[in-house]
Structure 1
Amino acid sequence: MTMMQWLTGPNGVLFSSTSVIVVLILMLFMSIKLYASYRNKVTYRWLIAAISLMMAKQAVLIGLAFSRQSLPPWIYLASSLLGIVSFIIINFVFMKLYTYRTAQLRSLPFLIMAGATGALAAAQYAVAPSGSGTSGEGLIVSFPLLDVYMIVVTLIILLATRVADLSPKYYTGLIVYFIGELARMADAYVFHGGQPWLLLLGLLLPIVYFSLMFMLLFEWVIERLMSTYQSSIVDGLTGLYNRRHFSSKADALLKGSKSMAIIFCDIDNFKRLNDTQGHLKADIVLKRVAEIIKEEASSIGSAGRYGGEELLACISTERVKPDVVAESIRKRIESETIVTVSVGFSTSKESGSVQEMVKQADEAMYYSKMNGKNRVSSFKSLPASAKNLG
């Protein structure tokens, strides 16, 4: 027996279906974890149902391939129905997952397609299935109407999703599935098993399709995890680290560098800006100020939002002087925005803890605020009477 004969026989079906089942088991595991972890239970129920139906179809295919006797037509019909309905559901779920923020995906077209599958199956079964080859000692039963409908469904979904912002892997998967169905139909109805390479395509392309679906689901899970992680460490408005994560970054910087500084910035007259030009304008200004501080701290440290209009930077001072960085921040904000900032800074020479440095930098900023605003003050240079007043 040649390799081609082995692949295009029952063993090839076993290899193809077993490979698909392994991929589906991985997808099922992720789906169950998603169902247990997130609120959108209905979508994940559909996903679990679709994967289960797909696994059932693959199991039926294995059984049919190794059958040594004629089987009733309804078993072949069940296999076709499982394949089409599960395909419709899985595409609905993936479109729901990837478009839920940008579009309202209607379930009615998918329900109509699923309902039409049942109607066509009943009509085809009532008329008569057709034979298209042999399996063991029995005749392989096929349903031309359902096979053509599968091609139509794939084309409808492919064309309907062109305007959606979906991953290229999704469209690649649909094209792969479409080619696989065409190869299977050509082998069954045109060449009647006379072209082994068509049968081979029909067996191998489903593995590629479901592997792409697995990658899509895996990437979606990673994106959700990354999004959840980002929202736990980043301030939603400014894009800077939130207070808690900034403190951890500053602690790490203090441990990993010989010297560092905390720069504390407070936007001058920010309440007046809110009252006179509105919150939207104030938020735009706040975001721009945050961008400037982030840019100045990049490669030498990190930036964070302490609260309200109070923004901080922690920087290593091994290669730069803190007063130079602080003054650069002040100058850029004055020239690039419609506001100014009062700035204070403290270094690790004045304190050995981040919490104490933040407190000292806050006091230096307060001194700048009380002495004309739009200036930089060092905690070290503050008069004794000005300390512990912030």
Structure 2
Amino acid sequence: MNNATFTELLFGPAGSFFMYSMLIVIIVMTLLVSLRLLITRRKVGYLSMVIALVILIVQYGQLVAHAVTQTQSDAGTFTALLLKLLAFVLLNIGIYQLYNATRKRDMAIFFLFLAGTAAISLTYWSIPEWLQENMEQTSLLRPLFMELYLFILLFVSFLLVGPRIGQNGKYQIMLTVYFAAHMLHMANVYLFDDKQPYLKLSEQTIPFLFHIVLFLFIFERVIEIMQAIYNSSITDGLTKLYNRKYFFSRVTQYIEGRVPVSVIFSDIDNFKKLNDTKGHQTGDAMLKQVAQIMKEETADAGLCGRYGGEELVVLVTDPDTDPAELAERIRARVERESIVTVSMGYSRSKKGVTADELVKQADEAMYEAKTSGKNKVVGL
């Protein structure tokens, strides 16, 4: 009796009802995250995904109803297939739009696939008259072209969408799982007349992996956005160094923690003249080059920031690094590798010296280097 109950639960209507209901729960969770992103980010990709997820919920809701009633008309089968195709197309459009600006060419391709989906769907009702006498063949052939069209969509998604998005690994897993589920469905229906219970069970369970990976895909997108927002709030857009506010907060953190540190203050020599004679584009290029040199030289010794204009700063946190030697290495590389030079000053933290005073001392040392010949390092 227990075995019969377990078998019925696993392979019968109750099992289908449970599986599809749980899938709806996962899709609803993904929908809520996507809806939140749509409200906050207002990006068209999230709108496409929200629509696709709503369609998926309707599709699985229909499957739940079928599991309860155990009846399915031709119109119901057609609706389920159409919803499946539309959801797949819109989901992949949405994923593409998350990582790419939607151009006119892209919109034309999107509408082409939507129109293709509509056209292929008409084949469901276009069975030749000589086949309509055989009801069994008719029921098998009606969905065939729509089912095969889904394989084309999978291939196109692998080819066109995958290489153009982030998280390509997760995306390929999603498509592979979807392909496997659809292959099992086709084998069960067209080879085994939908009478293989284990294939049917696989059809119902494999989509769990697809929707779990999809949820993780969307969730990681949230993390990417949060990281991007955080990084933009603490870094300078041009040089990608930390901005003045964040840099000073780190200096304060170390000073209040009584950790011995040093600050190096640098200024690009004759920067205004460079901008006036060679243009701001050249000035920006030199600023980025000097910033990159500073990042490379201080990678294991501390952190760099842009204090303002052409003023770049270094917080030396490694106790074994001599700020004078580090500043000289930076100055020498800038002179050797670029068309500009830098004047640099440094100061070491002392008892009773505040973060503001430490930075000011380094600034004063830099000013002394600038007024006494430029392209040199002065310590205070």
Please indicate the TM-score interval, normalised by the length of the shorter structure: 0.7 to 0.9
- The alpha-carbon distance between structure 1 residues 71 and 163, as it changes in their structure 2 partners (threshold 3 A), is closer
Cα-to-partner distance string for 1:152-172 (whole Å, 9 max, x where unaligned): 332333333365345122122
Give matches, 1:1-390, under 5 Å.
1=3, 6-40=9-43, 42-68=44-70, 70-100=71-101, 106-125=106-125, 127=127, 143-161=143-161, 163-166=163-166, 167-316=168-317, 318-349=319-350, 352-379=353-380
- My pick for the range that moved more, 59-68 or 256-265, is 256-265
CA positional deviation for 1:6 = 4.1
- The alpha-carbon distance between structure 1 residues 131 and 76, as it changes in their structure 2 partners (threshold 3 A), is farther
Distance 2:289 2:217 in 1: 35
Q: Which has the higher helix share?
A: 2
- My pick for the range that moved more, 231-240 or 341-350, is 341-350
Tell me the amino acid that sits aligned with residue 11 of structure 2: T
Distance 2:289 2:209 in 1: 46
Say how many residue pairs are matched.
Answer: 370
SS in 1 for 2:164: coil
Distance 1:259 1:178 in 2: 59
- The alpha-carbon distance between structure 1 residues 105 and 169, as it changes in their structure 2 partners (threshold 3 A), is farther
Superposition RMSD on alpha carbons, in Å? 2.8
TM (norm. structure 2) is 0.87
Cα-to-partner distance string for 1:36-70 (whole Å, 9 max, x where unaligned): 21132x332222111111011111111112214x4
CA positional deviation for 1:74 = 1.8
Asked if the contact 2:265/2:313 (under 8 Å) is kept, the reply is yes
TM (norm. structure 1) is 0.85
| Structure 2 unmatched ranges of 5 or more | none
Identity %: 34
Distance 1:327 1:350 in 2: 26
SS in 2 for 1:374: coil
SS in 2 for 1:168: helix
- My pick for the range that moved more, 343-352 or 258-267, is 343-352
Distance 1:148 1:283 in 2: 54
- The alpha-carbon distance between structure 1 residues 186 and 351, as it changes in their structure 2 partners (threshold 3 A), is same
SS in 2 for 1:50: helix
Asked if the contact 2:19/2:204 (under 8 Å) is kept, the reply is yes
Asked if the contact 2:46/2:98 (under 8 Å) is kept, the reply is no
- The alpha-carbon distance between structure 1 residues 49 and 265, as it changes in their structure 2 partners (threshold 3 A), is same
| Structure 1 unmatched ranges of 5 or more | 133-138, 380-390
